[in-house]
Amino acid sequence: MTPAAITSFFTTLRAANPLPVTELEYTSVFELLAAVLLSAQATDVSVNKATRRLFPVANTPARILALGQEGLEGYIKTIGLYRSKAKHLMETCRILVERHGGKVPRTREELEALPGVGRKTANVVLNVAFGEPTMAVDTHIFRLGNRTGLAPGKTPYEVEQQLLRRIPAEFMEHAHHWLILHGRYICLARKPRCWECQVSDSCDWPDKTRSP
């Protein structure tokens, strides 16, 4: 994609959805961190179903710790890999209480030092909670970066760096959400819905699909 095509691509997505938001439900920075941690290899729908029960009871690091791991597992057992996620979340809560006064840190290094929090999760928190121009590359964004020609790369990190270089600054705050939502609902993995795509003219993919 040329610079002009990239600008057109994001201008169109912005016009259709000026203020995109994550589909994970949260009311605080800690709830966002917990929800993103739980969402690895799981759908936002499944995470929201669990946190609607969990957060009214325990929505701070101290309250999660008070549940104990077995108690926490009871709330999130409908989420894939719930045992390992419960262990990571418990350990993360312990570190937040002991080292950060129960608050979620604002630096990448401190976030990535938390159990179960990798680069992608840290990028989501930095972008959504703190408004930083980061790019969390999940499977949708990795696919879009390569398929459209927006940011080709062999690894999520390569795609992330390409996106940070190529997306104009005016779009960076919301670019992460525009791309995720586009990949989730239009540019599907098996058969992208090109006939419904508002940005198909900007996309370099040669095998565009037609309406069934």
Catalytic machinery residues: 120, 138
- Number of Cβ atoms within 10 Å of the Cβ of 21: 10
Instruction: List helix spans (H) across 55-202.
Output: 61-76, 82-100, 108-112, 119-128, 139-148, 156-166, 172-185
Is-contact 48 24, C-beta < 8 A? Answer: yes
Is-contact 76 118, C-beta < 8 A? Answer: no
CA distance 161 to 42: 25
Token pair for residue 153? 């790369």
Is-contact 178 13, C-beta < 8 A? Answer: yes
CA distance 9 to 3: 10
CA distance 21 to 27: 13
